[in-house]
Chains A and B, each alone.
Chain A
Amino acid sequence: MVNEHDLQFFSGKCNEIFNELSKDIVGQRDVLECSVIAMIAGGNVLLEGVPGVGKTRLVRSMGRVFSLPFSRIQFTPDMMPADVTGTNIIEKDESGRNQLKFQHGPIFSSIILADEINRATPKTQSALLEAMQEHTVTAGGNTYKLNEPFFVLATQNPIEQDGTYPLPEAQSDRFFFKLLMGFPSHEELINIVNMTQETDDEVASPVIDGDGLLAMRATAKEIPVIDEVLQYTAKLVTATHPELDSSPAYTKKYIRFGASPRAAQALITAAKVRALMAGRFNVAYDDINALAFPVLRHRIKLSYESITAGLDNDTVIAGLLNELNGKPADIKPIDANEPAFKKKARVGK
């Protein structure tokens, strides 16, 4: 059961984490917040952004702050699954006899940076599936458990899609969040330049270890959710399915495929963390609305009508939230560079 110490520990550590991460990452407050939420909640994150916005730096910095082993996998088209999970190799034992020994792959770490995951073949991408969901690796008939906490931060480039392999839905659904790292603002760019003139290395200090992170995770799970918020969450996820009679006309028009039940799980889990980070001891509608974007944007498939209308996933999600909250759906295309969490100001409860 959660006690006062747990709550104080959580609150104190959150502040420290953000403070340390801010030393390495300029701006991107919403991405930082969601990344930390995902870490605490135990989910994996898909980072999408143009090159040079700090995706890799963020992951490396988080590795430092959380004092967790960090490993980077640079996906290429010729990469094999064994390059990710590991493989059996033949080596001589002490007596000189040859034996097979499993050589752990880079996935055997706590924080995995899967860089440009969409460059790898689907076969290689699927090597991450079991690790991301079950935190185990099966190779050569043996199952190897991964370290806890285990966290995959995958990145992908939204441009230069030629020669890439879009993530299958089964795999993209296993990412807790999809975060969009936009281009920094003018002031942020100046700060980045000034910072990197001093040093390119991450300077964030360790704040918490794996056990502390697990403790924070357990604390967040205790945050209560009233039935009305739970109903609203289920209603939101259900409303993304156009094949259901209960879904609004907006969904039937602009969404082709809806989100899986993992979306509802992610929403509630993340909302608890977000509430506690905000100093509340309860989940609010606002938490659900704010987290709807990172949770749903990679889980819904837009219809042809929305594509021809120039709508992106975030615009459709915003329109759906307005629809559920009794407001006119906003269907104007939004600025792709606008950070995702600034959209929360458009929607009410």
Chain B
Amino acid sequence: MEQLKLLRPFRRRLLPEAILKSLIAGAIIIGALDVVVLIILHLLSTDPGWWLLIASLSAVMVLAVLLFVFKYYPRTKTLCARVDDAGLYERASTMYALRNENTYIAQMQRKDAANHLTTVDPAKVKWSVSRKSVIACIAVILSFALLSAVPYNIMEVFAEDEPPVNEAYQRLLELIQQLRDEVNAHELDEYIERDMHAMIDEFEANVQGLEDPLDMAAEISMLEDRLQRRLDRLTRDELGEALADEKQGQTPDQPQEQENAQEQEQGQNITRELGDALIAGDADAVTAALDVLREMLNNPEDERPIEERLAELSQALRAALEASETEEGDALRDALEQYTIDLDEAAEAAISEEETDINEMLDEAFASLNEAVAPALDLQLQDEGIILALLEILRQAKQEILGNEEEVEEEVPPEEVPVEEVPAEGEEGEEEPPPPEGGEEEAIEPGEEIEMLMTEPIYDPFAGSVPYGEVFAFYYAEYLEAIDKGKLDDGLTEVFDGYYGELDK
């Protein structure tokens, strides 16, 4: 329709308005999204740099183009309405509506509209931009600029005003991580590793929310105690010496019957020790017990036939296995069961008077036993190694938490600490180690000053004296536990309250 061409000047007039509206609308939409994004970035203390501005400007451009094409471009119908506002009394709109009609009145109307369109100056068609949209655009741009100017670490600034975290608790958390790292650093058997992690998890649960360094030290001491108990197994030498002492305790002038009875009782003791060692999975103790049993077997004073002694040994081993209630598949159990079978075979060979070197058979059987037990021994060594490492870490952490300024010296592993011989009952041994200071033998009056012993550089668990700062927390924990269990009288409770209160000061 020719008359529609008359609308071109008006369209050119309104194109800038459409572009402006598209840009404003795009800026409002993208700006609003940016404000939300900036708020989130501030909460996360993340600085977006320049990328957000670049991305926003690009998005505004793209959105503006889309809005221009699909919404704000002055379509003919809209254009006619805008032109009519300039005083055409809906001539243009009616002209567009009747563009496909050919009645006389429609033709007359188009002609009338065309005549009037030529008389209207396109400049009379005013731009119409919503004031609200302009205000909204300015508002989002200002908000964007304002939020961009605010430092992104504003949350941390606020956080700094908060009271500082308990340093001791921080150290405790570091300790827990150190323990876990130490366990992971060692190549441990999965069961040992699992046990270690379980103990650390339990320790972590127990220290949750603690604020008092003394309480923290008490918990550390309890963990140390637990690890120490796990480590405190009789070593081969210790067991052997204990058995040797037991043997030495026997008097030579006892009649043979008494000797046999004593030997039988000794065998039962060894068998019981062997069972306990099997339960504990202590390969060291197992081989020590077996050595004792072998020594009993090869006792030159035992005049019983070899097959009888072998049978007795085999029975003792079976009894120990049964008492231990260990299951098949247990390394030690399997090794011992095989050993008993070898012993039975040796006994049968002795009975059948075969030309077989019994001792050679026994040596081979024992060698097989040692080979089978070796993996268990390895496990035991692993266990001991990790426990010692953890104890060292715990000791150092406890000192730091308690604020001990003394230099932390390397603690000598218990294996290397010279073990003082424990004198047998009734035997006058060396002078008894002095009782620990502050013990029950000394009555401490409330308010009395107590001289702390902090001169021993090396912690000797058997020396009877120890730097007080290292054990105070443990003693205090034990005291609290005793109170909880009602093991102390009220009078003693009052004494100890005063005692520990002064120590705390």
Contacts and interface: CB of A to CB of B under 8 A. Distances in A.
Interface of A: 1-4, 7, 222-224, 226-229, 279-286, 349
A222 B97 CA distance: 15
Question: Taking each of A223, A279, A280, A282, which has the highest tally of chain B beta carbons within 10 Å of its own beta carbon?
Answer: A282
User: Most A CB atoms within 10 A — which of B85, B94, B103?
Assistant: B94
The prevalent SS among residues of B at the interface is helix
12 contacts: A1-B104, A7-B108, A222-B103, A222-B105, A224-B97, A226-B90, A279-B112, A280-B91, A282-B89, A282-B90, A283-B94, A349-B85
A7 B91 CA distance: 17
Interface size of B as a range: 10 to 19
A244 B55 CA distance: 49
A107 B213 CA distance: 115
A3 B103 CA distance: 9
B19 interface: no
A284 B105 contact: no
Contacts of B97: 224, 226-227
B90 A285 contact: yes
Interface string B74-110: 0000000100110001110110011000011110110
A339 B65 CA distance: 52
A226 B94 contact: yes
A280 B112 contact: yes
Contacts of B81: 228
Given A2-B105, A7-B108, A281-B112, 4 more contacts: A226-B90, A226-B97, A228-B93, A280-B89
The list of the 4 closest CB pairs from A to B, nearest first, reads A282-B94, A281-B109, A284-B89, A284-B90
Contacts of A1: 103-105
Contacts of B113: 282
A224 B94 contact: yes
A224 B109 contact: yes
B112 A224 contact: no
A226 B112 CA distance: 16
- Greatest chain B CB density within 10 A among A279, A280, A281 is at A281
A69 to B, nearest CB: 32
Interface in B42-60: none
A283 B105 contact: no
Given A1-B103, A281-B105, A224 B91 contact: no
A286 to B, nearest CB: 6
Contacts of A2: 103-105
A286 B89 contact: yes
A6 to B, nearest CB: 9
Contacts of A4: 104, 108
Nearest to B112: A281
Nearest to B116: A280
Nearest to B103: A1
Nearest to A280: B89
A283 B85 CA distance: 14
A282 B104 CA distance: 13
Contacts of B93: 226, 228, 282
A284 B91 CA distance: 8
Contact of B90 (A3, A7, A283): A283
Nearest to B109: A281
Contact of A229 (B85, B90, B98, B104): B90
B115 to A, nearest CB: 11
A204 B112 CA distance: 33
Given A280-B91, A281-B112, A286-B89, A224 B104 contact: no
Contacts of B112: 279-281
A173 to B, nearest CB: 28
Contacts of A228: 81, 90, 93
Contacts of A284: 84, 89-91
Nearest to B96: A226
Interface centre among B89, B106, B112 (most CB of A within 10 A): B89
A270 to B, nearest CB: 16
Interface in B204-242: none
Interface string B364-378: 000000000000000
A226 B94 CA distance: 6
Interface in B376-412: none
Nearest to A286: B89
Contacts of B91: 280, 282, 284
A66 B271 CA distance: 144
A207 B369 CA distance: 142
A310 to B, nearest CB: 34
A227 B113 CA distance: 17
Interface string B272-310: 000000000000000000000000000000000000000
Contacts of A286: 89
B104 A3 contact: yes
Contacts of A281: 94, 105, 108-109, 112
A223 B104 CA distance: 11
Contacts of B85: 349
A282 B103 contact: no
Contacts of A285: 89-90
A4 B105 CA distance: 8
Contacts of A7: 105, 108
B84 to A, nearest CB: 8
A7 B97 CA distance: 21
B89 A223 contact: no
Nearest to B111: A281
A277 to B, nearest CB: 13
Contacts of A224: 94, 97-98, 105-106, 109
A224 B113 CA distance: 13
A224 B85 CA distance: 19
Nearest to A222: B105
A284 B112 CA distance: 14
A4 B108 CA distance: 9
Nearest to A223: B105
Nearest to A278: B89
Nearest to A279: B112
Contacts of B108: 4, 7, 281
A215 to B, nearest CB: 15
B98 to A, nearest CB: 6
A114 B84 CA distance: 42
Contacts of A222: 103, 105
Nearest to A229: B90
Nearest to B92: A282
A271 to B, nearest CB: 11
Contacts of A3: 104
A349 B88 CA distance: 12
Contacts of B90: 226, 228-229, 282-285
Q: Tell which of A3, A4, A224, A283 has the most Cβ of chain B within 10 Å.
A: A224
Nearest to A276: B105
A234 B93 CA distance: 19
